[in-house]
Amino acid sequence: MIRFGPSGNSESFYSEGHSSSLEAPAWLAQKGLDAYEYSFGRGVNLSRETAEKLGHAMKEKGIALSVHAPYYINLANPDPQKREASLGYILESAKRARWMGAERVVVHVGAPMKLERETAMKNCREGLLCAQKMLDENGLSHIHLCPETMGKKGQMGDLEETLQFCLLEERFIPCLDFAHIHALHQGRLNNTADFEEVLDIAESMLGKERMQNMHVHFSTIEFTAAGEKRHRTFAETAYGPRFHHLAPLLKNRNYTSRIICESKGTMAEDAMEMKRIWETL
């Protein structure tokens, strides 16, 4: 079963008079969406009471929850104290995931800063394993960390690096952000064959069974020579990638992915469009 939903709340959610994410479950269900990603991108500041209320409401509506850990996590950082702080952000995100009944925590692994890339990779690998150990020690072993493919050349986590991270621990779920892959490689994903190449690489490294359950971020994107600049909307036809190139592959390969839309301001509407495309197959 493929699930579709937004990362956060669309502009239309607020323009229709809603102000709290506690109102999101009913709003999403009314639109036929069944996934939602709660972002701690700028800080982990959700109370247990609110997290439990949100999780209960989402469960009642049949909406699968995931969370996104803070964007500023950097497991590659050469400063041990800052790496330790990053581990703390992951742990706090996972605790709130448990409170709301979510089982996936999406993680930006980091940036090399002035380190050699292989040294940064080593730090990231050690950091992810340490993060998993911390989750296990805190009764959070059911929470899946989802290393995400990144869109800028100055970040850790291109496709192959992200898959290497997932090889460290069988509980890790790859988060393939197809907009980031598109941007990092200067417009890589333009047709079904381009998406097929990405899935073939991923399946060759992790196996088809693990990839079938991958976490997906999807939107169109604007990029520069350095990679990602900003996420765009499906209505902005000058930008790619496009979901109708990916959808048949997911269908033919029997994927059961969770697809989270990160369009700028229209994430629910564009998630609905992806679901419409999916249902026409």
pLDDT tens digit sequence for 174-213: 999 999 999 999 999 999 999 999 999 999 999 999 999 9
Q: Coil, strand, or helix at residue 8? A: coil
What per-residue confidence (pLDDT) applies to 18? Answer: 97
Fold topology of 3-279: TIM Barrel (3.20.20)
Q: For residue 21, what is the DSSP state?
A: G
Q: How confident is the model at residue 83 (pLDDT cuts 50, 70, 90)?
A: very high
Q: What are 139's two structure tokens?
A: 């009764």
Q: How confident is the model at residue 155 (pLDDT cuts 50, 70, 90)?
A: very high
User: Model's pTM, two decimal places?
Assistant: 0.98
Q: 280 exposed, middle or buried (CB, 10 Å; 0-12, 13-18, 19+)?
A: exposed
**What value does the mean pLDDT take over residues 99-127?**
97
Helix axis angle for 159-166 and 192-206, nearest 10°, is: 30
**What value does the mean pLDDT take over residues 82-98?**
98
In whole angstroms, what is the distance from residue 50 CA to residue 167 CA? 35
pLDDT cut 90: percent of the chain above it: 100
What per-residue confidence (pLDDT) applies to 144? Answer: 98
Q: How confident is the model at residue 69 (pLDDT cuts 50, 70, 90)?
A: very high
Average pLDDT of the chain to the nearest whole number? 98
What per-residue confidence (pLDDT) applies to 182? Answer: 98
Q: Which of 118, 93, 95 is nearest to 108 (CA)?
A: 93
What per-residue confidence (pLDDT) applies to 98? Answer: 98
Task: Give residue-wise pLDDT tens across range 240-276.
Answer: 999 999 999 999 999 999 999 999 999 999 999 999 9
Residue 241 preceded by cis peptide, ω within 30: yes
**What value does the mean pLDDT take over residues 161-169?**
98
Q: How confident is the model at residue 36 (pLDDT cuts 50, 70, 90)?
A: very high
What per-residue confidence (pLDDT) applies to 101? Answer: 98
Which residues are within 8 A (CB) of 109 and not within 5 positions of it... i.e. 6 or more apart?
73, 74, 75, 76, 124, 127, 128, 147, 148, 150, 156, 157, 162, 165
**What value does the mean pLDDT take over residues 109-120?**
96
In whole angstroms, what is the distance from residue 178 CA to residue 22 CA? 29
What per-residue confidence (pLDDT) applies to 48? Answer: 98
Which residues are within 8 A (CB) of 227 and not within 5 positions of it... i.e. 6 or more apart?
151, 152, 153, 154, 155, 180, 183, 184
pLDDT cut 70: percent of the chain above it: 100
In whole angstroms, what is the distance from residue 219 CA to residue 264 CA? 8
